[in-house]
Amino acid sequence: MEKMSGRLPVNPSFLPSATHGVLKSLLENPLKLPVHHEVFSKEQKKEKTLEHERNVPQSAFLGPTLWDKTLPYDGDNFQLEYMDLEEFLSENGLPASRNTPSPINPDSIQVPVGYDPDPADLALSSVPGQEMFDPRKHKFSADDLKPQPMIKKARKVYIPEDCKDDKYWARRRKNNVAAKRSRDARRLKENQIAIRACFLEKENQALKQEVAELRKELGRAKNVLVKYEARHGAL
């Protein structure tokens, strides 16, 4: 207890009157001294409380705390409702834990294929004066790949020499040019289909190898999942 300095205040009722004695005044009106140790205890307790609050470990996360939002409890009527994980995270201002993968364009998928066609074959499969034929990108329509029927050549009609005038020879030259153009176009398409088919064969082998590796990896993942569910229950 701290030492009291100065004079203590005196209760006026403590002063003896003319009709009462000193002892009776002390018994009826005892002197109340200020209790310094109680004031000191309260201040000390307050300082300890503040110090404890400062020493409480705080989380480094600056977002809203999940435990600030409590669920109302209504006795026997309390029921838990299903909530989607992404909806729950968005309501609490938290980033989504999983990202929905965007759709992949099949045409953008490229499989590494070791295929280097002969430049001479590419030249025979390309239209002169145009871009070089690329078997990796070129696509044929269903009509292009439809089997063509066998066409029998028409029987040659003998024409006497005296009937072969200028009109005959002009028509024959025109037919010869058209036939040559048709044969060249057919041969060009056949060469393109052949090179394209060769590339697709190589690509098919590479895809089968990739599918085999993916199936092997999927099998390992399934085994891990089965062991996890056997130990901790189904997901």
3-state SS of 149-192 is: CCCCCCCCCCCCHHHCCHHHHHHHHHHHHHHHHHHHHHHHHHHH
With a cut of 70, which residues of the chain have pLDDT below it? 1-42, 52-83, 85, 94-101
Residue 128 is assigned to a structural domain of this protein: yes
Mean pLDDT over all residues of the chain? 76
Number of domains in the chain: 1
**Residue 211, Cα to own-chain centre: how many angstroms?**
23
Residue 199 is assigned to a structural domain of this protein: yes
Residue 168 is assigned to a structural domain of this protein: yes
pTM for the full predicted model: 0.50
Residue 129 is assigned to a structural domain of this protein: yes
Residue 144 is assigned to a structural domain of this protein: yes
pLDDT at 111: 81
State how far the Cα of 109 lies from the Cα of 137, in Å rounded to an integer: 12
Residue 29 is assigned to a structural domain of this protein: no
Q: pLDDT per residue over 85-128, tens digit each?
A: 677 777 777 666 556 667 788 777 788 888 888 889 889 899 88
Full domain range(s) for residue 143: 116-148+160-206
Residue 21 is assigned to a structural domain of this protein: no
pLDDT at 154: 78
Residue 95 is assigned to a structural domain of this protein: no
Q: What is the per-residue DSSP string for 63-110?
A: S--GGGS-----GGG-------HHHHHHHTT---SS-PPPP--GGG--
